[in-house]
Structure 1
Amino acid sequence: MNTSIIGIGLLGGSYALSLRDKYPKMHFIGVDASEVHGRLAVAKGIIDEVLPLEMAVPQSDLVVLAVPVNHIVDLVPKVLDLIPPKATVVDLGSTKRLICEAADSHPNRQRFVAAHPMAGTENSGPSAAFRELLPEKNVILCDTQKSASDSLALVEALFKDIGMKIHYMSPEEHDLHLAYVSHLSHVTSFALGYTVLEKEKDEQNIFDMASTGFSSTVRLAKSSPAMWAPIFDQNRENLSRALGDYIEFLKEYKTYIDTRDVNASFGFMQRANDIRRVLSGIDKK
């Protein structure tokens, strides 16, 4: 089975490494705009060879789109033009509505499966890929009723075989929920990092006084802007709504600080503490 990985970065590379463990005879073809990434991915054993898109896709049984979401939107129709009759295309993008719309009008739409593995780190590139990233994590599949049964079955089987838990929802539901539980946290981390850099001009002070709390909160600010700027743009309506809600709660909490309303501050934090229960319940599922 030939599998082409379009975009040999953290997610595409980690997916390939996980599949290699389960399917040692699978042949992996890498497609990447960076020659350095291609050579590194071969050296690391992520892929077996690097080819241009026009050569890789026609000989592939499975094509995995793991580039930034703005490029996925552009690539979906091109890849569906190039695939063999029974091949399957799956994307790993963090937004789904515009990607699904890009596939919907194509004659080969049934060969496409829209997916979003809920896993990642702040690092990027093939050097960041590791086989433990995806097992035991969730993956969301969207618009599965539009995919051919054999393509859907293949994608489901591969995700299950590497230990992922599959969930299903519409592209619209996906993008709305992700605005709150993923995209908003990245925006706030970027904003926190920006604020500290702008207001704490002495970088040595930042280094000396930053605690583990600050480091964990600002970790996502180290993520790739090339990846996240298109995500924020494609999900801008939902993200703007989530940001609006967040800003209102920040304003509310600022009032508690300004008025020294310790009881209200305590109650606010106590309510927020309930996220521990929610996340603990999710971890046990």
Structure 2
Amino acid sequence: MQVEKISIIGLGLIGGSLAKALKEKLGIESITAVDINEKSLSQALKEGFIKEGFTELNESVYNSDIIFICTPVKDAVEYITRLHGKVKAGCILTDTASTKGEIIDYVNSLDNPPCFIGGHPMAGTEKAGFSSSFSHLFENAYYIMSPSKNCPEESLEYLAEIIRGIGAIPIKLDSKEHDIITATISHVPHVIASALVNLVKFSDSPDGKMQTLAAGGFKDITRIASSNPKMWENIILSNKEIVKSTLNKFTETINTFIEYIDNENSNGIYNFFDSAKKFRDSIPNNRKGLIEPQNELIVDVVDKPGIIGEIATILGNNGINIKNINVSNSREFEQGCLRITLPDSGSVAEAYELLAKKGYKVFKI
């Protein structure tokens, strides 16, 4: 199969990054986009990442070799319904939604179902929209593929080649297995992060002391609570039974810990933290997961005039772009006080080596 034309439905962060990656990394010229946001379409056309842009499906989309549906699950199901029976023979339909079971079950229930491969790139940021998209979003990220029943092996392998071409790592997973995994490592953590933030909100005093002191570590561990609420409403409802089951397991874990406290079980409390530390430390750092890494360094510095400029100059002279730099005022459980946010893991490694050689105490998060 030789791809000549690709269409992307939904030109937000994922769809926009996909268009940029297909153009820049694979040299695909004929890319059509569909989005209700005309501003995004105009920007993509102006910057040369798409050849055509429409607000509705049409013959140009139906005539594609591959159609990426980069929308929430509910919208993706609607688009599949509208595309069913209209796309050309051999066309591969795929999506990028965070749950797979509901959409695969729907496709398999259709009469003469299309060649559909459920897709889930394990990459993203808290930002949204085409303006936030970038071509290297998928680099070194796992990209899940869950084929429907009417998907030939050659179509699966062809999509895998496209995925490799944009820098991602394709992995084939059954849709139900995918949803169990993502519920545990992504969906429930987002629920817990939001629950922690709401706990502070509803426990705070009228003068907001908790909010003031919640800087530093608390803000880091709840960072994902800043994600798009509408998107997460859609994700949770599309995977509701597995999310409920996983939350029940989490509740059991918390209840066990409460028992350790009630019984003053020192060994139980110690082993709870020790087991978590050992397992977390064994998780590799060189792959992207469902939650975007922070790409931050913490530098232990003396509070003196010019220290921030000194460090910024060292990094700038070596071509390292600083996205953000600030002083951490709440660092009871942190080392250092200067937090530096960098664009990617490569910049973190390079900055760490540079500052360490200059004698600074540097810590990776």
Which 5+ residue runs of structure 1 have no aligned equivalent? none
CA contact (8 A) 1:96 1:142 kept: yes
The alpha-carbon deviation at position 77 of structure 1 amounts to: 2.4
Matched, 1:20 2:23: yes
CA contact (8 A) 1:112 1:151 kept: no
Partner of 2:139: 135
1:188-199 aligned within 5 A: 188-199=192-203
Query: What secondary structure does 1:82 align onto?
Result: coil
CA contact (8 A) 2:147 2:156 kept: no
Partner of 2:275: 271
Matched, 1:109 2:100: no
Cα deviation 1:137-188 (Å, max 9, x = unaligned)? 1111113663134432321110011122121121111111211111111111
Q: Distance in 1 between matches of 2:126 and 2:206?
A: 24
Q: 1:47 to 1:273 in 2, by over 3 A?
A: same
Q: Which amino acid aligns with 1:211?
A: A
Q: Distance in 1 between matches of 2:200 and 2:48?
A: 39
Kindly, what percent of the aligned residue pairs are identical? 29
29, 47, 51: which one aligns with 1:48: 51
Matched, 1:187 2:182: no
Q: Distance in 1 between matches of 2:211 and 2:48?
A: 36
Partner of 2:159: 155
Q: Which amino acid aligns with 1:112?
A: F
CA contact (8 A) 2:108 2:149 kept: no
Q: 1:203 to 1:141 in 2, by over 3 A?
A: farther
Q: What TM-score does the superposition give when structure 1 sets the normalisation length? A: 0.89
Q: State the structure with more CA Rg.
A: 2
Partner of 2:103: 99
CA contact (8 A) 2:141 2:287 kept: no
How much is the aligned-residue C-alpha RMSD, in angstroms? Answer: 2.5
Aligned residues: 284
Q: What TM-score does the superposition give when structure 2 sets the normalisation length? A: 0.71
CA contact (8 A) 2:118 2:146 kept: yes
The alpha-carbon deviation at position 245 of structure 1 amounts to: 0.8
Q: Distance in 2 between matches of 1:81 and 1:203?
A: 60
More helix by share: 1
Q: Distance in 1 between matches of 2:61 and 2:112?
A: 14
Matched, 1:214 2:218: yes
Q: Distance in 2 between matches of 1:257 and 1:278?
A: 27
Partner of 1:72: 76
Which 5+ residue runs of structure 2 have no aligned equivalent? 289-365
